Chains A and B, each alone.
Chain A
Amino acid sequence: MIRTFSYIDVMYLVAAARWTLALTVTAFAGSAVLGLALALARIAPVAPLRWITAAYIHVVQGTPLLVWLFLIFFGLPLTGISVNPWIAAAVAFSIYGSAFLGEIWRGALISIARTQWEAGASLGLSLYEQLRHVIVPQSIRVAIPPTVGFLVQLIKNTSLAATIGFVELTREGQLTAAGTYKPFAVYITVAAIYFAMCFPLTQWSRSLERKLDVAR
């Protein structure tokens, strides 16, 4: 039965956006934990560690996110591990995000001059203490703008989870459009909700970029 696209449908879409946010937050947390480990391993003084993590990053960055989603959601059950769409999406997005955050943060870490490490080492600081007190505090200012930029990409990319039946904003939009035959109105609404989530972040990232640049 065809219903009209009404206020209540808009509310359903807004409610579904909570799942977009939930997936974004989960994926960002997973990406951050993995990404930090990757960034540190990429600059570690242990060569095999650098090779392994470099290979991981190249593989992940060289394959489509959609393929990872399918691989985990449709592939894993064949090996006896059944996953629901939520877990599959969270894992796939964390893998995807970790490769990007890892590279962003590695770049931020190596942007700090070698002489800063040396100054720390010369004062008797251990490698960890040099990172903790000298390198990381300085690289955070470098890392924040691209990290927020990545977060915006992540919000938009979570729409791919619709393909494995995870009901977030885009999937809810598909369902609403199918029920109302008003795809134009529905997807305009969906786009507006994405925009409302991303735009403030983009603006924040811009202002951070300006502020951190001036403070330098």
Chain B
Amino acid sequence: MSLVEIHGISKSYGSVQVLKDVSLDIARGEVVAVIGRSGSGKSTMLRCINGLEPIQAGSIRVDGVKVNDPATNLRKLRQEVGIVFQSFNLFPHLSVCDNITLAPRVVKKQPPAAAREVAREVLRRVGLEDKLDAFPAQLSGGQQQRVAIARSLAMRPKVMLFDEVTSALDPELTGEVLKVLESVAQEGMTMILVTHEMGFARRFGSRVVFMHEGRVHEEGQAAAVLAAPKTPELQTFLSAVLH
């Protein structure tokens, strides 16, 4: 059984349909790169997976639990679906440690000392153990994004969503974030990344999904799709981003 099953979802903002009958299955341990022009619906699809955006038709299941069902406990679901945003969205009034431990303490009722240990451990994984007591404003963009990844890891999610996590960073800072993403991928995490980093998609993506005008236009094994795109739209898109 797939970990994430997206089946025929559609979504509109008013009269603008942003997702048109999108279906996608993601197996446990897969690293799926979702690429496409801005406005193609890729970020919206990602945000539908943890219920941040409601859908109007179709269904989404994560580990068998239906996301778009009023009876579903979204709080519980979101503990298992981590998301990292383009603009980090750290809590500016909390230290790095409190950013990471807030949800474990409040939602999972972990004792503060245990939560702090978890914070230490996830910070080690993103290479920022020494920033435990720093505040977000004291960190560079790349460091803030790594803390955001650590914050998500601390909830021990089954799947992690990454919404253009390097797009807001200066070019020299994207490398450190990509390295963290690589190590998370190598640890076997199921990941869905909306990204413009084709190099990362090629090396670590088990699959590439190209979205175009609200549909999955082309998909397949990452290296193969990127090396030999079948549809003219993907060919155009790739030649545009690679040059």
Contacts and interface: CB of A to CB of B under 8 A. Distances in A.
A116 B91 contact: yes
B91 A124 contact: no
Interface stretch (B4-12, B29-37, B73-81): B73-81
A129 B89 contact: no
Contact of A119 (B85, B107, B155): B85
Contact of B92 (A118, A129, A138): A138
Contacts of B102: 123, 125, 133-134
B83 A122 contact: yes
Interface residues of B, number: 24
B89 A124 contact: no
Nearest to A118: B52
B103 interface: yes
B50 A126 contact: no
Contacts of B91: 116, 119-120, 133-134, 138
A115 B93 contact: no
B40 interface: no
A118 B84 CA distance: 11
Contacts of B107: 123-125, 129
A120 B74 CA distance: 12
A121 interface: yes
Contact of B75 (A119, A126, A133, A134): A126
A137 interface: yes
Contacts of B82: 122
Interface in B71-127: 74-76, 78-79, 81-83, 85, 87, 89-93, 102-103, 106-107
B151 interface: yes
A171 B83 CA distance: 62
A98 to B, nearest CB: 27
A182 to B, nearest CB: 54
Given A126-B75, A138-B93, A121 B87 contact: no
Contacts of B92: 138
B76 A124 contact: yes
A133 B101 CA distance: 12
Of the four ranges (under 10, 10 to 19, 20 to 34, 35 or more), the interface on chain A belongs to 10 to 19
A120 B92 CA distance: 12
Interface in B28-53: 50, 52
B28 to A, nearest CB: 21
A52 B106 CA distance: 32
Given A121-B78, A125-B107, A116 B155 contact: no
A115 B92 CA distance: 12
Interface string A99-140: 000000000000000011011111111100100011001100
Nearest to B83: A122
A80 B90 CA distance: 57
In this complex, the member of A116, A118, A119, A121 whose beta carbon has the largest number of chain B beta carbons within 10 angstroms is A119
A124 B73 CA distance: 10
Contacts of B83: 122
B89 A119 contact: yes
Contact of A125 (B52, B76, B106, B151): B106
A120 B103 CA distance: 8
B79 to A, nearest CB: 4
Given A122-B78, A124-B75, A115 B103 contact: no
Interface in B144-160: 151-152, 155
A125 B90 CA distance: 14
28 contacts: A115-B85, A115-B87, A115-B89, A116-B91, A118-B52, A118-B89, A119-B89, A121-B52, A122-B52, A122-B82, A122-B83, A123-B78, A123-B107, A123-B151, A124-B75, A124-B76, A124-B155, A125-B102, A125-B103, A126-B75, A129-B106, A129-B107, A133-B91, A133-B102, A134-B91, A137-B93, A138-B91, A138-B93
Given A119-B89, A129-B107, 13 more contacts: A119-B85, A121-B74, A122-B50, A123-B102, A123-B155, A124-B78, A124-B103, A125-B75, A126-B75, A133-B91, A134-B91, A137-B93, A138-B93
Interface of B: 50, 52, 74-76, 78-79, 81-83, 85, 87, 89-93, 102-103, 106-107, 151-152, 155
